Amino acid sequence: MARKISRGKCAFCEQIVAKNAITKHLSACEKRLAQWNQPPVGKAKLRQVALIHLLVEGRDLPQYWMHIEIPGDASLRHLDDFLRGIWLECCGHLSAFTIGDQRYSVMPEPGYGERGMAVKVGSVFSPGTAALHEYDFGSTTELTLKYVDKRETSTRGIEVSLLARNEAPELVCDICGAPATQICTQCVWEDRGLLCEQHAVDHECGEEMLLPVVNSPRVGVCGYTG
């Protein structure tokens, strides 16, 4: 996998910014700040809430990352649904958060000390909090979530907002160096298997083992196609 300097796009001004500078950029982005003064749309009753700013990244693949904002009164299940939708979901696997010493599972086993995901995000994320998210306990994709900031605002919904996301890493074919479009789900476990269109055709493991290269830390795993 590529390990070059990671860059990402601000969802507000669409500027491409280095990963290590995106937090500072988001705090000063004029288009983002301008949206704060716009009234929330919709018919639901307005409520005052803290919006929690989180950095999410692949635990072992930190070149995949995003900054998000989620209402503090949204549940961990809402956050789990968002992560599944944008990066993870392939076959309806189980998932869980570990925050501090507590594990929150989509199907909790109280006998093992697990809790469900109905807990509110604002009650478990605060300055200094870091969490682990696991999707699929067989071919597991692990994400880290870190508290960045929070702000008070009036809102109507409980939707998660994407603030910024990494640009797709430049992955190249192991054979010829051309842009990779396919990845072998067998060879990936040996840290190889990236293929261009030409070399994917006659790959030794067969077409049925190939998945498209997508912008996600779950690239090449299970049946994930993006």
For the chain, domain boundaries: 7-166, 171-226
Alpha-carbon distances of 18 from 55, 109, 165, 187, rounded to whole Å:
14, 41, 11, 30
Alpha-carbon distances of 154 from 1, 20, 27, 49, 64, rounded to whole Å:
41, 30, 19, 6, 31
Q: Are 120 and 72 in contact (CB under 8 A)?
A: yes
Up-side HSE of residue 220: CA atoms within 13 Å toward CB?
21
The confidence score (pLDDT) of residue 155 equals 81
The confidence score (pLDDT) of residue 44 equals 66
The confidence score (pLDDT) of residue 113 equals 96
Reported as a single tens digit per residue, the pLDDT across 138-176 is 999 999 999 999 999 988 788 899 999 999 999 999 999
Task: Find where tokens 């594990």 sit.
Answer: 103
CATH topology of domain 7-166: 3.10.290
Which residue stretches of the chain have pLDDT < 50? 1-2
Up-side HSE of residue 186: CA atoms within 13 Å toward CB?
8
Q: Could you say which DSSP state residue 195 is in?
A: E
Q: Could you say which DSSP state residue 168 is in?
A: P
Helix (H, G, I), strand (E, B) or coil at 32: helix
The confidence score (pLDDT) of residue 2 equals 46
Conformational region of residue 69, where left means phi above 0, alpha means psi within -120 to 50, and beta covers everything else: beta
The confidence score (pLDDT) of residue 1 equals 44
Distance CA(73)–CA(36), nearest Å, equals 19
